């Protein structure tokens, strides 16, 4: 629980830091270069957070599935199927979030 709270606080801090950079409006050519860097930084931080979240989720699914299979080996096939489906759904959401980060670059 404490570990998840640390990740949540880190994500909130990252969003607060990145939000002003993403909201800047540059009016001249010199401002465009600085604004472009801010936008790239925001996209990079967003993509990094997406990957961190997905890796934590898939890692937890895998760990819990292996633990469940060791406790009840007779239902290992059903657990493995559910694990693969859940991991595929997480990866789909991850790809969508990465595309959103890249589009709003």
Residue 104 pLDDT > 80, yes or no?
no
**Comparing 54 with 20, which gets the higher pLDDT?**
54
Across 45-49, 68-72, 80-84, least confident range: 45-49
User: Does the pTM exceed 0.95?
Assistant: no
CA atoms of 21 and 44, how far apart (whole Å)? 12
CA atoms of 80 and 62, how far apart (whole Å)? 9
Q: For the beta carbon of residue 18, count every other beta carbon within 10 angstroms.
A: 18
Residue 23 pLDDT > 60, yes or no?
no
Tens of pLDDT along 29-43? 554 555 566 667 777
Mean pLDDT of 41-63: 88
């Amino acid at each position: 629980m404490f570990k998840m709270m640390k990740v949540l606080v880190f994500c909130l801090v990252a969003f607060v830091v990145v939000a002003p950079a993403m909201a800047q409006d540059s009016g001249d050519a010199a401002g465009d270069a600085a604004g472009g860097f801010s936008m790239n930084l925001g996209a990079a931080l967003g993509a990094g957070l997406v990957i961190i979240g997905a890796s934590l989720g898939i890692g937890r699914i895998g760990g819990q599935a292996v633990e469940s299979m060791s406790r009840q080996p007779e239902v290992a096939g059903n657990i493995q199927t559910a694990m693969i489906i859940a991991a595929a759904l997480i990866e789909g959401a991850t790809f969508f979030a990465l595309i959103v980060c890249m589009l709003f670059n």
